[in-house]
């Protein structure tokens, strides 16, 4: 078993503090704590990964009389093995896997609301995927691509402002009376936070990422349409000028989403939800030109298990033509992409413990038709207070 000592140490620490109250709440301050341990069996090797979240929300109206203001902080700590070293995939296997083990200030932003909460502005270290390119039903799955589309996740100097490293940002959101909403954000293109080498980038030398999203309710379905663009051109992965210098291209893309109840009311057993998401990007500056995810979530499967849920999903990452041509120049023939199927079950065992096994089948890993399809079995344990 390839489990890291850090994971074992944190697991023991969590067991020791369970009798204490790790979550406190009052009129002005909310504190949350969660410990996640994943055991992953991939390519005949077992890995252990863990994640610690400490979250605080301070209501500034009640504390200092600043009407409509809220301060949010989120500290993140990751440790454990890297599944991708044993079996590399284009989309990943586990959504808490990181390349470096650090304590990070994941989010720290101030939010101001007005118009009775219909309008709000956030500023600070901000997780793009907390509000953009996100569907509620897809949040059940453990594969990273169900969090944010791979074609956007692969952009930027260090990836966009998402897990595990965020960037300085400003987000505006307005909800209309007809249950539609618009939101826009400007984020530093260099995603680095306190805890990363160099800390938070204040220079903005890599420019910014612009993103906008519209959402609307239509016959109980939630529809979303978004677009994003980087302000500064980035090196083309293939095209060069006469001197051999990569040409520079503007990285951009669009995406669409739908999340809808399929049958059953909120309190009914076996109520079903479905989602579909798709995105495309320029394909000039990264390995991906697009992708899509689809899935079905069935909630309250067992009568006596109110929080039981079963999910069946599929995610497809499309490799860009230029990336495939580069591979062909090196004697490697790649297919048009990689497909991963996931079957997962979630259940809350008690008010502080939940378990979630997940089975994933990877077809043509990294788009290589010469590699055998493989499977991954994960077990997630979450302790929260």
Going from the C-alpha of 126 to that of each of 68, 328, 348, the distances in angstroms are: 19, 39, 29
Residue 272: which domain range? 2-384
pLDDT in tens, 65-103: 999 999 999 999 999 998 988 889 999 999 999 988 999
Name residue 210's beta-bridge partners. 186, 229
Structure tokens belonging to residue 80 = 């454990």
Q: What is the pLDDT of residue 18?
A: 46
Q: Give how many domains the chain has, as a whole number.
A: 1
Q: Are 367 and 90 in contact (CB under 8 A)?
A: yes
pLDDT at 316: 98
Q: What pLDDT, on the 0 to 100 scale, is given for residue 35?
A: 98
Q: Which residues of the chain have pLDDT under 70?
A: 1-27
Q: Which CATH number belongs to the domain containing residue 180 in this structure?
A: 2.40.160.180
Distance between CA 318 and CA 286 in Å, rounded? 11
Residue 217 and residue 180 in contact, taking contact as beta carbons nearer than 8 Å: yes
187: how many CB neighbours lie within 10 A of its CB?
A: 27
Question: CA-CA distances (angstroms) from residue 29 to 112, 234, 282, 359?
Answer: 16, 43, 44, 38
pLDDT at position 155 is 95
Eight-state DSSP code of residue 219: T
Q: Omega of the bond prior to 361 within 30 degrees of 0, cis?
A: no
Whole-number pLDDT of residue 43: 85
The predicted pLDDT at position 242 comes to 85
């Amino acid at each position: 078993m390839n489990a890291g000592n850090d994971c074992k140490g944190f697991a023991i620490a969590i067991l020791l503090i369970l009798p204490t109250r790790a979550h406190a709440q009052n009129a002005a301050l909310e504190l949350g704590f969660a410990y996640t341990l994943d055991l992953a069996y991939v390519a005949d090797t077992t890995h252990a990964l863990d994640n610690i979240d400490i979250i605080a929300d301070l209501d500034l109206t009640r504390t200092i009389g600043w009407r409509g203001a809220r301060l949010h902080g989120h500290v993140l700590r990751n440790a454990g093995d890297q599944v991708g070293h044993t079996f590399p995939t284009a989309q990943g296997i586990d959504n808490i896997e990181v390349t470096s083990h650090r304590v990070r200030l994941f989010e720290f932003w101030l939010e101001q609301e007005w118009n009775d909460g219909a309008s709000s502005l956030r500023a600070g270290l901000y997780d793009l995927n907390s509000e953009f390119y996100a569907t509620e039903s897809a949040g059940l799955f453990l594969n990273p691509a169900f969090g944010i589309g791979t074609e956007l996740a692969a952009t930027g100097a260090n990836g966009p402002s998402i897990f595990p490293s965020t960037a300085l940002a400003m987000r505006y959101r307005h909800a209309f009376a007809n249950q539609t909403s618009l939101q826009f954000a400007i984020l530093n293109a260099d995603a680095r936070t306190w805890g990363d080498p160099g800390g938070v980038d204040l220079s903005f030398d890599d420019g910014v990422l612009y993103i906008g999203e519209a959402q609307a309710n239509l016959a109980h379905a939630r529809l979303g349409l978004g677009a994003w663009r980087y302000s500064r051109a980035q090196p083309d992965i293939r095209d060069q000028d006469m001197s051999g210098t990569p040409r520079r291209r503007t990285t951009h893309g669009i995406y669409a989403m739908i999340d809808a109840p399929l049958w059953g009311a909120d309190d009914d057993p076996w109520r079903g939800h479905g989602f579909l998401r798709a995105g495309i990007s320029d394909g000039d500056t990264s390995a991906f030109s697009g992708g899509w995810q689809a899935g079905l979530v069935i909630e309250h499967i067992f009568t006596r298990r109110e929080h039981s849920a079963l999910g069946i999903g599929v995610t497809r990452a499309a490799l860009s033509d230029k990336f495939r041509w580069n591979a062909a120049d090196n004697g490697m023939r790649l297919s048009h992409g990689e497909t991963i199927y996931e079957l997962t079950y979630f259940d809350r065992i008690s008010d502080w413990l939940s378990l979630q096994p997940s089975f994933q089948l990877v077809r043509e890993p990294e788009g290589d038709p010469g590699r055998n399809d493989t499977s991954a079995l994960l077990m997630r344990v979450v302790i929260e207070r």
